[in-house]
Amino acid sequence: MDIKSPAQNTTEQYDVVIIGAGPSGSVAASLLAADGMSVLILEKQYFPRFSIGESLLPQCMEFLKEAGLEQALDKYAKEFGFQHKNGAAFHKKGKNSSFDFTEKFSEGRGTTYQVKRGLFDKLLADETEKKGVSIRYGHQVNSVANLEPEVCLDVRDDNEQPYQVKAKFLLDASGFGRVLPRLLDLELPSDFPIRHSYFSHFKDGINCPEFDRDKILITVNPNHSDVWYWLIPFSDGSASVGVVGLPERFDETLPAIDTLQDFIAQDENLQRLLKNATPLQDARVIKGYSADVTKLWGKNFALLGNAGEFLDPVFSSGVTIAMKSASLAAPLVKKQIQGSKVDWESEYAEPLKFGVDTFRCFVEAWYNESFQNVVYHDHHDDSVRRMISSILAGYAWDEKNPYVAKSVRRLNVLAEICQAG
């Protein structure tokens, strides 16, 4: 059967088709549209829709600026209840610590926002449409008919009608949907163990004067140092609260909200902060979020954001990595479409992985506790504190930072010093 586009009764053709209108899809599309490319985004859901990943890093703002999306975020932040963010605070067994991103080593913006992702993703998508990108909501990509000589996708529209669309290049920004990794058999198990996460939004009722709403609060469970919580305040008196741990830490027979509240009650400080909190919605659970792929690109396609590798939420690096992938890929797509040869491994996969590996080193050190010792150490040299702040602010590709250039070695030495101290 020859399947035509319902709109035109002829198979449509774009320069670039993008699967998914999350942050990586919108940033890539905005950059490509600014370069004169015709871009179609196919998004299976209707926006606003819930998504997790609410604490941004300042490095994101640089990518949003590049894509012409930063101003809109600054403009609507207050109206949408997005919270100004200038750092990260940590708590473990009564001990507090915090890093101020404005005192970071790397150049670039030092503040960002904690966002409700439904509104944030819709804002970016709406701004992207204003730049000439077509977005079709309720349209799901089901399979890839061809990748060469040109891309041809099988899509199901919002009336369950199938149609095809063609493009010179395909970007998979489908996040946890992982469309191409599944269809092209690119899935690779992550090196990280499976972890579960329980989370919800609360009317937080926090009235402790010392609580800093401008920072995400990461708390280590007093009984299990591999279990940690996030508390991400928004500016409208609500907050996102979640707990992360190995599967055996959780009783799956309990309702998810009870599990979350039981864990909150285990930490004295969190319990005190959230004593007046009431849930605004049922808790959600994500099991086994870490993912990897055998390759990030192939003939006429590349994987962006979570459709490629996802490490762990502990340092809120997901949206930053997603936007970095879009920022790296967009100019290469244009270059290829204009007829130049692109070496996707050395120009895309390797530079992207460079920063991902910086985060990887810190995530591994968090779970083996060496970075926890660094975080809660009292007497850091100022320059070391600024370098660590930079990485926590997302500047994981800044090779001038010794903790980026030689992350494993530097972090091991620092952890030993902190341990000895």
Ligand X SMILES: Cc1cc2nc3c(=O)[nH]c(=O)nc-3n(C[C@H](O)[C@H](O)[C@H](O)COP(=O)(O)OP(=O)(O)OC[C@H]3O[C@@H](n4cnc5c(N)ncnc54)[C@H](O)[C@@H]3O)c2cc1C
Chain residues binding ligand X by CB under 6 A are 19-25, 42-45, 51-56, 140-141, 173-177, 179, 197, 242, 286, 289, 304-307, 310, 313, 316, 318-320, 322
- Give the Cα separation of 302 and 325 in Å (integer): 10
> Minimum distance from CB of 409 to ligand X (Å)?
27
> Minimum distance from CB of 16 to ligand X (Å)?
15
What is the DSSP track for 170-220? EEE--GGG-HHHHHTT-EE--SSPP-EEEEEEEE-----TT--TTEEEEEE
> Minimum distance from CB of 161 to ligand X (Å)?
15
Q: Two tokens at 38?
A: 């015709």
Closer CB to ligand X, 117 or 168, in the complex = 117
- Give the Cα separation of 232 and 245 in Å (integer): 18
> Minimum distance from CB of 262 to ligand X (Å)?
18
> Minimum distance from CB of 15 to ligand X (Å)?
18
- Beta-bridge partner residues of 239: 202, 233
**Bond from prior residue into 402 cis (ω within 30 degrees of 0):** no
Closer CB to ligand X, 140 or 380, in the complex = 140
Closer CB to ligand X, 59 or 370, in the complex = 59
Q: What angle do CA 365, 367, 371 make, to 5 degrees?
A: 35
> Minimum distance from CB of 44 to ligand X (Å)?
4
Region of 318 on the Ramachandran plot (φ > 0 left; ψ -120 to 50 alpha; else beta): alpha
Question: DSSP character for 51?
Answer: -
Closer CB to ligand X, 199 or 415, in the complex = 199
Region of 394 on the Ramachandran plot (φ > 0 left; ψ -120 to 50 alpha; else beta): left
> Minimum distance from CB of 319 to ligand X (Å)?
3
Question: DSSP character for 349?
Answer: I
- Give the Cα separation of 106 and 316 in Å (integer): 18
> Minimum distance from CB of 156 to ligand X (Å)?
9
Q: Two tokens at 327?
A: 């920022």
How many C-alpha atoms does 26 have within 13 Å on its Cβ side? 23
- Give the Cα separation of 79 and 68 in Å (integer): 20
From the centroid of its chain, how far is CA 48? 17
Closer CB to ligand X, 12 or 43, in the complex = 43
> Minimum distance from CB of 178 to ligand X (Å)?
8
Closer CB to ligand X, 172 or 418, in the complex = 172
> Minimum distance from CB of 340 to ligand X (Å)?
26
Q: Two tokens at 250?
A: 């959780």
Closer CB to ligand X, 15 or 121, in the complex = 121
Closer CB to ligand X, 353 or 377, in the complex = 353
Closer CB to ligand X, 184 or 286, in the complex = 286
Closer CB to ligand X, 283 or 404, in the complex = 283
178-201 b/e (C-beta count within 10 Å ≥ 16 → b): bbbbeebebeeebebeebbbbbbb
